[in-house]
A and B are shown apart, each in its own frame.
Chain A
Amino acid sequence: MGHQINLQLAAEISFLPVAVQWAETAAKVFGLGREDALKICLATEEIFSYLSSRVCPGEVLDMRCVNGIFYVRVEFRFPVSVLNMGALNVAAAVACDSEESLSEMGLALATRTVDRLNISAERKNYICLSIEKDKEYPYVAATSSLPVSVRGNLAVTAPDAEGIKSYIARVARTPDERLPSFFRYPGKVADMVAGGEYQALTAVDTRGECAGGLIFHFRTPQVVEMFGPQVFVPEREDETAAMLFEVCLARTARTKAIGILNLTGVPNSLKTQFEFLGSLTNKVQGDRKVVHPCHYRLLHEDPGAVVFTDAALTDYLQREYSRIFLARELREVTDQGETRTGASIFATEFHREGSRAILRPLWPGVDFDANVQRHLRFLQEEGIDNIFFTIDLGISWQASLMTVLMNNDFHPALILPFAGQSDLLYFQYD
């Protein structure tokens, strides 16, 4: 329990100093620098005030500060029954048909001072709102590298911190825009592995010279995300990549994972072992586009699934499922005039550094179209260049959003098998 500190208090504005002081102290204890601790404090202040005034005033709020080793996370947990539901949308205060100033936005303001903000629905009808701030690490600048020379047999190992730093520093010297930014920070990756959320593998010769490596983590309990393998010795690329990937498979094949995902490109020699799902495109530094090819492979037999769709996407889904040989029973969801009430909630996963936001429906409502427009306007005003929306094809009501999204300039980009209750359909905003 040494990696988390809990606080329970009423969501009353008079307790605001307690929450803020607690967050600052906990963040510092967990190693966040003064400036970053202040930033997560400011976000905590915004969120606590917002929850106390707009969402669940007076109700019990469970707060938790978690030491993720390379980041500090503050979580706010409250029961769904007390919600002013619509207020949980990050764009709740945005009027989609007005140009008025985006002030007094609570959650929206909080996103500006942290690296990630997320909202998720949990068991027992609880909502968890979380903010994360990464620790500061020195980065390795791009520079020319001396060629690596390895001799004799290679062996795959789980490197220690120095081994990880050496491997990541080597990758950082020849930047690849498809890789996540943590590949520029060797110390950060060492901490990510030490924290247990990520695993590293390197292929080394008998002298310890590193021929390549890969990083992987559980993106969800059922999907392993793999970065790499990166190989530093071109003449031994096939052998090195195969060894690293085989060990990665051995470590994940008997876990909860159903599949392995790679969004950063796989070496040519491994491409026959993956299936190409499609691509996501990220804008970087203005309008330059970086394409992220999405490769995937299942670890087990496909158990099959029922997926729900709007008629507008039936052909697309049939075509895609047929192309990737996944057995799915498609069920069309149609509006039969049934009554819908209340405001919908979308969770927004913010990644400030990559100028990226991923929207995800949490709760159905009557205002899908207006809510999508509010979020788009908010994200654009926040300068977010890359906007995605994911639909869980295993949850019937989410299919109603498909047409709404396409009418608002989203297009279906790819299907990620088993990434939700069933498969996730990624929409990209054009």
Chain B
Amino acid sequence: MIEPDLNILVPAYVREFEPYIPSRPDPELQKLYGCPRLYRLNNNENPLGPPPGAQEVIRNFPPPRGAVYPSGDSYYLRHEIASRFNMDPDQILVGNGANEVIAFMIKAFCEPGNNIITADKTFAVYEWVATFSGIEARIIPLRDERFDEQGMLRAIDANTKVIFVCNPNNPTGTYWSRDTLKYFLDAVAGRQIVVVDEAYFEFVEAEDYPDGMKLIDAYPNLVVFRTFSKMYGIAGLRIGYLAGNLEVVNMIRRTCVVYSVNCVAQEAALACLRDETDHIGRTRKMVRESREFLCTEMAALKLPVIAGEGNYLIVKLPGSDTLAYRKLMHEGVMIRPMTGFRYPNHIRVTLAGREAMEAFVAAMKKVLA
């Protein structure tokens, strides 16, 4: 048997990339760490689950339809989204989670020699997809825990194709105001594509927070990401989308793999958008109360927090975050250690229901004792 020479077959930027290893399934983790119950506070999931209409869709999905391909381009969902934002349906592209949509962007606009710009302490997937695609990722340090618009503008050169802004930022919860975003888009002046990732849009209650969808007409180089994984609680179905100028999206569509979004996800997402039970209001209330509760409890433990928008906050620890992760796992609480986000000795905690928050606080007290 002759083995393939992977040193020749695989590009260096792929060989040298370290694949992300997701955590094991909950039952495996519970067995490993010896915890009968596990509170998942690591992925910013919505513990309320999907809105009732989406739950109905999932519950009533007819098994024979498992044999039938889904709409290849999420036809009905695109029309629903477009009608809500007064857009052409072809301005919308739906993907298998926002991660797939990020890959569409990089493939559409970048080739080796190009670069993308993003921040050091933000959602890592922009940097990962660029890196394993052979594209340089220019990483600009956050300034006062927020994206540094001046630093990002200075990093632009003739090879810069896409700039990724996570708004609000995961994990800091900071955001660019409407004025800051418009200032940045004006300064870029259409020379690069600016992606504003609004994965946590529905959680934000600040009045000066911009709705990127409303800026697309004025800024044709703006592309907005949204997801159904966070507020709408269907992370397990993997569905997200992007919106942008018709001609820009027409280019991105060329790199888009059709049929990658399954039937249940498309129909559940439709039901999420049509929700009339105030799912968003209920979730916001839970997040607000949990944020207040945790901020008070962490202050009592003399642990600084970075708490902004979004359904998460960051806690600064007196020691190693990765050790705290292991200790908290033994107590049945799973959080996200932040060294990988370049925030050593910080952990990110999902703002969930009261029971989970109390379990987290109790575990923290034990771990710090």
Residues A59-83 near B (CB distance < 8 A): none
Q: Is the CB of B342 within 8 A of A249?
A: yes
Q: Is the CB of A273 within 8 A of B326?
A: no
Q: Is the CB of B23 within 8 A of A273?
A: no
Q: Is the CB of B322 within 8 A of A256?
A: no
Interface presence of A377 (CB below 8 A): no
Q: Is the CB of B344 within 8 A of A253?
A: yes
How far, in angstroms, from A303 to B24 measured CA to CA in the complex? 7
Interface presence of B148 (CB below 8 A): no
Q: Is the CB of B29 within 8 A of A304?
A: yes
Query: Given A303-B21, A303-B23, A304-B24, are A327 and B33 also a contact pair (CB < 8 Å)?
Result: yes
Closest to B137 in A: A254
Interface presence of A362 (CB below 8 A): no
Mask, B318-361, CB within 8 Å of A = 1, is 11101101110110000001011110110000000000000000
Interface presence of A313 (CB below 8 A): no
Query: Given A250-B342, A300-B337, are A272 and B329 also a contact pair (CB < 8 Å)?
Result: no
Mask, B29-45, CB within 8 Å of A = 1, is 10111000000000000
Interface presence of A329 (CB below 8 A): yes
Residues of B within 8 A of A254 (CB): 18, 124, 127, 340, 342
Residues A266-291 near B (CB distance < 8 A): 272-275
Interface presence of A207 (CB below 8 A): no
Residues of A within 8 A of B297 (CB): none
Interface presence of A109 (CB below 8 A): no
Q: Is the CB of A273 within 8 A of B345?
A: yes
Residues of B within 8 A of A124 (CB): 3
Closest to B121 in A: A250
How far, in angstroms, from A301 to B344 measured CA to CA in the complex? 12
Residues B3-26 near A (CB distance < 8 A): 3, 18, 21, 23-24
How far, in angstroms, from A272 to B339 measured CA to CA in the complex? 15
Closest to A123 in B: B3
Closest to A329 in B: B32
How far, in angstroms, from A43 to B122 measured CA to CA in the complex? 52
Interface presence of A380 (CB below 8 A): no
How far, in angstroms, from A274 to B320 measured CA to CA in the complex? 7
Q: Is the CB of B320 within 8 A of A301?
A: no
Q: Is the CB of B24 within 8 A of A273?
A: no
CB proximity of B2 to chain A, nearest CB, Å = 9
Interface presence of A246 (CB below 8 A): yes
Residues of B within 8 A of A299 (CB): 322, 339-340
Q: Is the CB of A255 within 8 A of B320?
A: no
Closest to A327 in B: B32
Q: Is the CB of B18 within 8 A of A325?
A: no
Interface presence of B120 (CB below 8 A): yes
Q: Is the CB of B322 within 8 A of A297?
A: yes
Q: Is the CB of B18 within 8 A of A301?
A: no
Q: Is the CB of B320 within 8 A of A272?
A: yes
Closest to A250 in B: B342
The CB with the most chain A CB atoms within 10 A, among B3, B29, B124, B339, is that of B339
Closest to A260 in B: B339
Q: Is the CB of A327 within 8 A of B329?
A: yes
How far, in angstroms, from A124 to B2 measured CA to CA in the complex? 9
Closest to A255 in B: B18
The CB with the most chain B CB atoms within 10 A, among A246, A249, A256, A325, is that of A325
How far, in angstroms, from A273 to B321 measured CA to CA in the complex? 8
Interface presence of A128 (CB below 8 A): no
Residues of B within 8 A of A325 (CB): 323, 326-327, 330
How far, in angstroms, from A249 to B345 measured CA to CA in the complex? 11
Interface presence of A10 (CB below 8 A): no
Query: Given A254-B127, A273-B319, A327-B33, are A249 and B344 also a contact pair (CB < 8 Å)?
Result: yes
Q: Is the CB of B127 within 8 A of A301?
A: no
Query: Given A274-B320, A303-B23, are A326 and B120 also a contact pair (CB < 8 Å)?
Result: no
How far, in angstroms, from A275 to B327 measured CA to CA in the complex? 13
Q: Is the CB of A327 within 8 A of B326?
A: yes
Q: Is the CB of A253 within 8 A of B340?
A: yes
Residues of A within 8 A of B345 (CB): 273
Residues of A within 8 A of B322 (CB): 297-302
The CB with the most chain A CB atoms within 10 A, among B326, B329, B345, is that of B326
Residues of A within 8 A of B341 (CB): 253
Q: Is the CB of B319 within 8 A of A256?
A: no
Residues of B within 8 A of A302 (CB): 322, 325-326, 329
Closest to A222 in B: B18
Residues of B within 8 A of A328 (CB): 32
Q: Is the CB of A275 within 8 A of B325?
A: no
Residues of B within 8 A of A275 (CB): 320, 323
14 contacts between A and B (CB under 8 A): A253-B341, A253-B342, A254-B18, A256-B18, A273-B345, A300-B21, A300-B339, A300-B340, A301-B23, A302-B325, A302-B326, A304-B29, A327-B32, A328-B32
Name 9 extra pairs, CB < 8 A, besides A298-B320, A302-B326. Answer: A253-B339, A256-B18, A273-B345, A300-B337, A300-B339, A301-B322, A303-B24, A304-B33, A329-B32
